[in-house]
């Protein structure tokens, strides 16, 4: 496996935790966002990324205990930390941080950031959203430390990769039919993408905590050199009020890679275990 594909294997799998799907947001469903309080400060989720029996990396998703004020909005701060481990870490060091500040009322991002170390690659990026003006201001620097600034047009209620995952947890999947797809615009790097996810029904999956009732989702993806096919990723989220990611599987160029929940704390609601 060459070094570029090695880096893609780990870094893309880390952000699977944030980019597996979104739900359309409109002015008419803001009550849904305000009433379904499924997450809050002090929630921590930890994951093991593995290729068969070989652990390749680990990730931690945490909702910070304090609230922040950004753009005159009271916000949650959510952060994803991902790193390569073991032999994978020796071959290709990956140490990534993704973060966002989410408006506690509308659940849309006000600011986000990335701090990436992937082999010799370095990136620091800060994005400030002006949803009223429909603009995103981006400050970006690489390994040389030279900062560049950009402005981009964005649609209303746009998400970022991290905030989109948290918003997905407010969706009532009982109202969807198997095979139904939903989509939302999301800003990433320098473009607005239309992400689409398909609801695949419900399963009962095994975990180290026991059998958990789960909802299965698959993001609709184009053919590419990293993932094998348009439905290459499956994500199972708990079928309860938390809707936390329990397991992810990706069919990639090296075979099947999995991400499993290994620790959780600070959930607002009990996990619903199956029999």
Q: Is the pLDDT of residue 53 over 70?
A: yes
Evaluate whether residue 272 is within a structural domain: no
11: enclosing H helix or E strand: helix 3-19
Domain-embedded: residue 274: no
pLDDT in tens, 149-192: 999 999 988 999 888 878 778 778 888 899 988 777 789 888 88
Q: Is 110 contained in some domain?
A: yes
Give a yes or no: residue 273 inside a domain.
Answer: no
| CA pair distance 213, 263, nearest whole angstrom | 17
In a domain, 96, yes or no: yes
- With respect to residue 271, please indicate whether it lies within any of the assigned structural domains: no
pLDDT digits (tens, 9 = 90+) for 189-224: 888 887 777 899 999 999 989 999 999 988 876 554
Whether the pLDDT of residue 31 is over 50: the answer is no
Total count of domains within the chain: 1
Range of the domain at 216: 3-265
Name the more confident of 255 and 247.
247
Burial 195-212 (b: 16+ CB within 10 A, else e): bebbbbeebeeebeeeeb
Asked if residue 270 is part of any domain, the answer here is no
β partners of residue 114: 98, 125
**Does residue 112 fall inside a structural domain?**
yes
DSSP letter string, 77-93? EEEEEEEE-HHHHHHS-
pLDDT at 76 over 50: yes
């Amino acid at each position: 496996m060459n070094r570029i594909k090695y880096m893609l294997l780990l870094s893309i799998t880390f952000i699977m935790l944030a980019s597996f799907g979104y739900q359309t947001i409109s002015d008419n469903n803001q009550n849904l966002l305000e009433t379904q309080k499924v997450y809050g400060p002090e929630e921590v989720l930890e994951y093991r990324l593995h290729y068969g029996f070989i652990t390749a990396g680990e990730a931690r998703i945490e909702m910070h205990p304090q609230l922040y004020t950004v753009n005159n909005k009271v916000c949650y701060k959510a952060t994803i930390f991902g790193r390569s481990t073991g032999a994978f870490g020796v071959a290709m060091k990956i140490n990534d941080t993704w973060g966002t500040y989410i408006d506690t009322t509308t659940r849309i991002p006000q600011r986000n950031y990335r701090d990436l170390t992937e082999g010799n690659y370095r990136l620091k990026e800060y994005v400030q959203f002006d949803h009223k003006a429909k603009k995103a201001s981006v400050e970006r620097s690489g390994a040389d430390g030279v900062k560049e600034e950009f402005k981009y047009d964005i649609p209303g209620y746009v998400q970022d990769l991290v905030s989109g995952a948290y918003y997905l947890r407010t969706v009532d999947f009982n109202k969807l039919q198997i095979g139904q797809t939903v989509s939302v615009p999301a800003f990433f790097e320098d473009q607005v993408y239309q992400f689409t996810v398909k609801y695949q029904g419900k399963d009962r999956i095994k975990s180290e905590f026991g059998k958990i009732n789960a909802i299965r989702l698959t993001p609709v993806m184009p053919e590419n050199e990293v993932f094998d096919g348009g439905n290459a990723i499956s994500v199972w989220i708990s079928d309860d009020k938390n809707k936390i990611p329990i397991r992810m599987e990706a069919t990639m160029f090296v075979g099947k890679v999995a991400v499993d929940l290994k620790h959780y704390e600070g959930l607002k609601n009990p996990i619903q275990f199956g029999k």
